[in-house]
Structure 1
C-alpha cells in the first residue's frame, strides 16, 4: 500500500451520482407516486460513495423527501445494500438519530427508498473539536441501544466474516507480490511485511473480540453524519449489525485521523465505551480492519466508485499506525 500525501486527503464521494433527469421516466413516475406529489426541484447529495441517485426532492405540496434510487447498472451490489437498508430501518428504535424510512419500492431492477429529509451539514474537515465531540456523544448514546424486536439484524461476526481476512489473503500471494506491495508502502510497508505472520494471527481472532449485542452502525465516517442545530444524524445504515458497544468508535477513528481529527488511540481511550476494553481485545479488531482496508485498496475499483480504493488505502495507513502504537 502506498502512504497517501498527508496534504491531500481522499474525498468521500463516488463522483458518479445520477440526477433527476438521468432516471428512467418510469422510475421518476414511481417516485412521485410513492411520495404522493409531483417533484418540482432536487438538491443532490455531494458526499458518500454509493452510486445511483441520492437527492432531497421538493414536492409540489411543499413537503420534502430524501430519495435513493439504485439499480445494478450503477453498481451490482447497490440494490442489495438498499434492500438491506429497508430491513435495518425496521430495527432502529425511535431514539436512534437516523432519518425515518417513509416508504420503499422494489421492482426487481430498481430499488427506491424515501427517507425523512434532514437539513444540516457534514462535519467540517479537517475535523473540528466541537464537531467530533458531538459525533462521539451520539455514538456513546448509540452504544447503549438495542435494536427494536423482532429484527433481522445479524451479528457483526457474520456480516464482516468475508472481509476481515485481508492479511491472510496477502500472505497467500507469491513472495514477489508481497514484497512489491511492501516496497510501495515505504517504511510502514516494510513494517507490515516484517509482521505479516503476527497480523494474520491477530485478525483471525477479531470475531471473538468484536462480538456483542449492541446496535452497531458499522460504516461511520464524516460523510455518514449530518449535523443540524440540535441533532447529530447518523445516516446510511445498510451495514448495521449486532456487536460490541465500542465497535463504532474504533471503526470510525482511522477515518477521523485521516481527516485531521487527532490521534485515534487517545480519542478512543477518552471515551466511556472503551472502559474495560484492553489492548488485547482492541488489537485483533484493528488488525482485521487494517487488513480489510489494505487488501481492498489493492483491488480494481468497483463499478461506479472510482476513488474508493484510494480512500481505503489512506484508512489502512492510519489503522496500521494505530495498531503499531499499541506495541
Structure 2
C-alpha cells in the first residue's frame, strides 16, 4: 500500500470502514461476468446516492444467445440490488465512445462530486476513456475505483477475433504519426491478442519492457508465461531477466514502476495493457498524467464462461478531497 506517495487501497469493506461516510455515485456495467454485481452486493446502501450502469451488448454471432442469457440474469440480480431502469444505458461493445461518454458526462455534472468507478467487468476501451473524463470533470471531489475478483476463469479460450491494433479511444498522442517511440511497456496477461504483430511492425525498434504480475498462482502462472513465450517468439529482443514484477492488485506499485521505467514520463513510450485490471488502471492513470499513448487489440468476442463467481472486492483512492494521488 505504501510507495513514494501514500495512496490508500485495500479490501473494499476494510477501506470504506476507514473512510468518511460520504454519499457516492456509482458507475459500472451489466455484463455476462458475475462480478459485475459484486460491488453493489457489498456497498452500504445508505451511502449510495445515484447509479449509472452501462448494459454492454456483444456483437451478433452464432453463440450470442448463452451470453445474452447470462447478461439478462445479472441484469435481474442488479435490479434486485436496487438498480433502476432509469439508471441503465444500453450500448454496444464496439460503439463510438460518445455513446457512453455523453451520458457519463451528464451524470458527473449532476452528481455531488463523489464517484465510484467499478472496472471489474468494464472493457478497457470503456473504462480508460471513462477514467479520463471523470478526472477532468470540474465537479469531482472524490474518486474511488473498485475491482472485484472472480472465483475462477475458464480454462477455454477467453477471447478471440481481436481488432487490428489501435489506440484506446482518447489515448492517442498528438504527434503519434511522426513520433519515434523508444520504449513499449506491456502488462502481461493471459492472451496477447495480436500484440506480437504490433511489436514487430510499427514499434519494431522500440525497447520492450514487461510488467509481470505476481503472485499469479496456478493456473494463472502458466497462462502468464505462455503470454510471454508467444511474444518472445516474435520479438526475441525482450530480456526475460529484466521483467518488472508487480503485484497483481497493487495499482500504486505499478504506477511507480511505470514512472521509473520512463524516467517520470520523459521517455517517448507507449503502453499496452493486457494484464490484471489493477495494473491496467495504473497504466491509464500514468497515460492521463503524462499524455502517453495506449494501444490495444480489442477482442470482438469473449467466452460466455470468461469468469464466474464473486470473490473479494478492492478499492483504490484516486482523488481524495480534490487531491489527485496519482501524480509524479
Q: Give the TM-score normalised by the residue count of structure 1.
A: 0.27
Greater C-alpha radius of gyration: 1
Q: Which has the higher strand share?
A: 2
Q: Highest relative contact order (Cα 8 Å, sep 6+), 1 or 2?
A: 2
Q: Give the TM-score normalised by the residue count of structure 2.
A: 0.26
